[in-house]
Amino acid sequence: MTALKQYAKLESQGVWRAHPDAQRQNVIVAFGDASLVIVASNGQPLSHWSLAAVVRVNPGDLPALYTPSADAIETLEVDDDMMIDAIEQVRTAILRSRPRHGRLRVILTAGVAAATVAAAVLWLPGALMRHTLGVVPEPTRSELGTRLFTAIGRVSGAPCRSREGDLALARLSSRLLAPGSAGLLVMPGGIPDTISLPGGAMLLNSRLVEDNESAEAVAGFVLAEDVRRHQEDPLRPLLESAGPAATIRLLTTGHMPDSALRAYAETLTTAEPARPPDAALLQRFEAAQVPSTPYAYALDITGEETLGLIEADPMRSGDARLVIGKADWAALQQICDG
């Protein structure tokens, strides 16, 4: 999303700390489509924070002190009034999107809610689905993604983190995904190869970085998941799993029952997603200038079932770009060792 269009190109100075024992570092903070991008003075990306999950530690005090989530160890100090105002407007919008006693969400009037409920009785399920996917705003999607991530974490455990690994993930995300993407997280296990959540976050099983021999193979899984989530909105299977009643509740209150999220989290952690068609994959690999052959052999070591991705590799002529450097790849392979 573009959280606030008037802030689309906003940048400010900030002070970032990777963890409580780390040295404080002067950085540039860029207000992105769905994230805060933290960049060193030499232009090197340091971290990506999802705007939907940002928490202010010291409300009312200056400089404003933020963390990327309630249990995160990174901190960011900002004293630029315009940047603080932009972040706070997004946080306020997210709070307003949550259910409140005695009134509907800000974006829905009582008349719209009543019309939605009445129409849901008459509409075919497909029409209700299309309408919901079209009107649920990004802050609500991000909140659903965060709650779903929490439910998945009960099975998979907390995401793997390390200073060098986090930087490598940020560079991998910047290299492969659209600017402003919520970013990548490596999970210690308990999930399929990749999962996309509403709101933009993408989860990777740690075996992808531990068992593959090259960053190009891991890049293939990221690109394949990116194709998959563009072909099917990640919110759709959640709504299908939750059913019409929970979907109507989401429309009228902005809230999804915890039971529906827990049930869908169980489905996500056990079901292997289908591989996108080769034509779509090859087009995405070509656009990213990443070879498809390493990914093909990671899927099938014999290459028999992925022959199309090998023979039609768009980078066979040698035009591939480096995915990430050797040091970043080593850090990524060790991100779960800490």
Q: Taking the domains of the chain in order of start, what are their residue ranges? A: 5-97, 140-238+266-333
Confidence band for 62, pLDDT divided at 50, 70 and 90:
confident
Q: What is the CATH number of domain 5-97?
A: 2.30.29.30
Confidence band for 120, pLDDT divided at 50, 70 and 90:
very low
Model confidence at 140: pLDDT above 70: yes
- Over residues 187-196, the pLDDT tens digits come to 998 899 999 9
Confidence band for 332, pLDDT divided at 50, 70 and 90:
very high
Least Cα distance to 176 among 124, 137, 215, 127 occurs for 215
Model confidence at 199: pLDDT above 50: yes
pLDDT at 304: 95
Least Cα distance to 172 among 11, 318, 290 occurs for 290
Confidence band for 81, pLDDT divided at 50, 70 and 90:
confident
On whether the CB atoms of residues 223 and 176 are closer than 8 A, the answer is yes
Q: Which residues contact 318 (CB under 8 A, 6 or more apart)?
A: none
Average pLDDT, the chain: 84
Confidence band for 2, pLDDT divided at 50, 70 and 90:
very low
pLDDT at 6: 61
pTM over 0.75: no
Per mean pLDDT, which of 15-24, 57-66, 110-119, 218-227 is the most reliable?
218-227
- Percent of the chain topping pLDDT 90: 41
Model confidence at 180: pLDDT above 80: no
Does 276 sit behind a cis peptide bond, omega within 30 degrees of 0 on the bond before it?
Answer: no
Residue 65 burial by CB count (10 A; 0-12/13-18/19+): exposed, middle or buried?
middle
Rounded CA separation 216/325 (Å) = 11
Rounded CA separation 224/142 (Å) = 22
Continuous segment of H or E residues that includes residue 299: helix 293-299
Kindly report which listed range (222-226, 243-247, 302-306) carries the lowest average pLDDT score. 243-247
Confidence band for 85, pLDDT divided at 50, 70 and 90:
confident
